[in-house]
Amino acid sequence: MSRIINIGAAQMGPIAPDESRVSAVNRMIELLKQAKDRGVNLVVFPELALTTFFPRYYEEDISKMDMHYERGEMPTPECKPLFDKAKEFGIGFYLGYAELTEDGHRFNTAILVDDTGKIVGKYRKVHLPGHSEYDGKRPWQHLEKRYFEPGDLGFPVWRTMGGIMGMAICNDRRWPETYRVMSLKGAEVIMLGYNTPDVNTSAPEPNHLRMFHNHIVMQASAYQNSCFVIGTAKAGIEDGCMLIGGSCIVQPSGEMVALASSLGDELITYACDLDLAKMGKETVFNYAKHRRIEHYGIITSQTGVIEPPLDEAAE
């Protein structure tokens, strides 16, 4: 019997710096209503779905950014209507937000809530792009290394809603290790939200490559790890800074089966047959049969590049 779960990527348009959480939550509830009408079982909201992408702003005193973080555990009072509506509809969801823990740690976080309203798990973004100090050369800052600590929860997966599911956040999607760790634990669905500025002065590249790279990493990784990958954007112009859209659902073949066409609040959906993940896991990417870990050691023992020595004789 096939295990079909109808998954929705609930892309959100811009969240203005002064937009309230109530406004963002109401927009997400509207997307949940669309999801209900379309028989969706699981909705993936973006990274930092409650606030504007505040790492674009420099603040000397980090505590002055506290208003962008959620304190303590979910659901917060502002998010409770979202949790209640999802539970009423019997829809699970992924929610990205900035987390400020009781003991003062700051993470770029996502939680997975199942279709009964139970918080199944939490993930904290491991790969933090950008920089930690003000960079005058940039039109926009990207201060995730200033406002967040690297995630301390690893890449967990959970058995929930009939499958094995894991989470990632934005820049994580560019690193193959993200998916491989989860697929070594059997992940059939890897979901993630992203806020990707259209301009990244630290990696100047032609504009069209922004979307190309966004999709190639998720499509290649879905194929190489034989799993579904869902990527949900916060898109559009936030305070003058363009964030790319391109929310998508990718099946284990690597083919994109749903793609957002706007830069606003937009739900895309696909009936994901989780058993499609099995074929790859049992054949081409049967890890137990084909991987040769005796040759992979430096992937985890070495952080940066170590080139072969220059040949003295050639000098």
Which positions touch ligand ING (CB under 6 A)? 129, 170-171, 174, 194-197, 200, 203
Q: Which of residues 89 and 179 has its CB atom nearest to ligand ING in the complex? A: 179
Nearer to ligand ING, 46 or 163 (CB): 46
- Shortest CB 65 distance to ligand ING, Å: 15
Q: Looking at 34-91, which runs of residues are DSSP E strands?
A: 42-44, 70-71
Q: Which of 70, 99, 125, 241 is catalytic?
A: 125
**Which listed residue (79, 170, 227, 241) is catalytic?**
170
- Of residues 221, 242, 119, the one with CA closest to residue 109: 119
CA–CA–CA angle 186, 163, 82 (5° rounding): 125
How far apart are the C-alpha atoms of 243 and 235, rounded to whole Å? 5
Residue 90 vs 139, nearer CB to ligand ING: 139
Given 47, 144, 238, 266, the catalytic residue: 47
Residue (130 or 280) nearer to ligand ING, CB: 130
Kindly state the smallest distance separating residue 170's Cβ from ligand ING, in Å.
Answer: 3
Query: Is position 125 annotated as part of the catalytic site?
Result: yes
Q: How far is CA 201 from the centre of its chain?
A: 22
CA 119 to chain centre: 17
Q: SS in 3 state form for 200-260?
A: CCCCCCCCHHHHHHHHHHHHHHHHHCCCEEEEEEECEEECCEEECCCCEEECCCCCEEEEC
| Annotation says 118 is catalytic | no
Distance from C-alpha of 281 to C-alpha of 43, rounded to nearest angstrom: 25
CB of 152 to ligand ING, least distance (A): 18
Q: Is 248 a catalytic residue?
A: no
Give the C-alpha separation, 273 to 189, whole Å: 10
Torsion of CA 179, 184, 186, 192, to 10 degrees: -20
Q: Which is nearer to ligand ING, 158 or 175 (CB)?
A: 175
Please state the closest distance from residue 141 (CB atom) to ligand ING, in A: 12
Integer Cα distance of 207 and 188 in angstroms: 32
Residues annotated as part of the active site = 47, 125, 170
